[in-house]
Structure 1
């Protein structure tokens, strides 16, 4: 891991300051992930743009979006993003059993399980899911738009999950109630 600064308004590069000010207005605080990303204004801006598009620009329901986010977070062992998206899921009133199943990697209802399986197939195949994975996804009622929307959300998660892994982003105090650790098999990788 690399040591980094968790920027605040006074230490951030000038180009990141307006983005951080917007975040403080939105959340009432500056999340540590964004403070780390602020070192690269382009990364921070791209991440925030993809986050907005994940919410406003996909055809997924909040529950389906949570499945993609959390599947990526858990598979990538993101100590920061699992609690963050658990908090988001609670705020969006996603069924707590769904959130817990995602955190624990236990079965979901069939349609959501198909979405998780497809997200994992994208990850594990480096974007080349096989015909069987695509057929199973389509059999669950998903189509081309859902494939593309999954790619969009996964791209957003690569930015945050990798940032957290490289820089060991400290988990915000506000996220402490949602702390998470990966299974031993994932942590050993």
Structure 2
């Protein structure tokens, strides 16, 4: 296994130094995932930008959480599931939503469950969803913009999930209480 470096603002390539410093300012520390991404400044910059773009989408905080955690759980990202559990908590998302997503149990809210189902269809079918699947999503109260915003959220999570798998990113101390493993 390749041993990847987790950078600090002092050890990072020049193109990542400012982004790591901003991450430390924003989160009170450099998240381990950012420290791994810093090896490729373009990846860190792209991730930071796509996260901001998804956060400015038309989705509510609950809907963003559903997209993020559906992908994180599907990809079994041991860093991102805890990370987005904490983020959901900080955003004031109902803990029952986080529990259902982490445990892969149905969401009580039918609209949110439709969003989870559509997100998973997009991931599992690599975007090749059927017209009927799109219609089912739209009939749950979403619009065409949401279809493409799901793609945006998936793109964000592919960047982070794949980074964490390749780099074997350790769960930061702050995330340890939210550690997750898929149930057998």
What is the TM-score when the length of structure 2 is the normalising length?
Answer: 0.97
Aligned counterpart, 2:66: 67
Structure 1's unaligned 5+ residue stretches are 185-189
1:131 positional shift = 1.9
Q: RCO (CA 8 Å, sep 6+): is it higher in 1 or 2?
A: 1
Tell me how far 1:159 sits from its aligned partner.
0.2
1:177 counterpart residue number = 177
Cα distance in 1 between the residues matched to 2:26 and 2:142: 33
Length, aligned pairs only? 183
Partner of 1:138: 138
Give distance in 2, aligned partners of 1:51 and 1:45: 10
Structure 1 residue 95 and structure 2 residue 129: aligned?
no
CA deviation string 1:32-58 (max 9, x = no partner): 0000000000000000000111112x1
Aligned equivalents of 1:2 and 1:53: distance in 2? 32
For 2:178 and 2:84, locate their aligned partners in 1 and report how far apart those are by CA, in whole Å.
9
Alignment of structure 1 residues 98-117 onto 2, 5 Å: 98-108=97-107, 109-117=109-117
User: 1:142-157 to 2 correspondence within 5 Å?
Assistant: 142-157=142-157
With the length of structure 1 as denominator, give the TM-score of the two structures.
0.95
Question: Within 1, Cα distance between the matches of 2:2 and 2:145?
Answer: 37
Which residue in the other structure is 2:121 paired with?
A: 121
Gaps of 5+ in 2: none
Shift of 1:183: 3.0
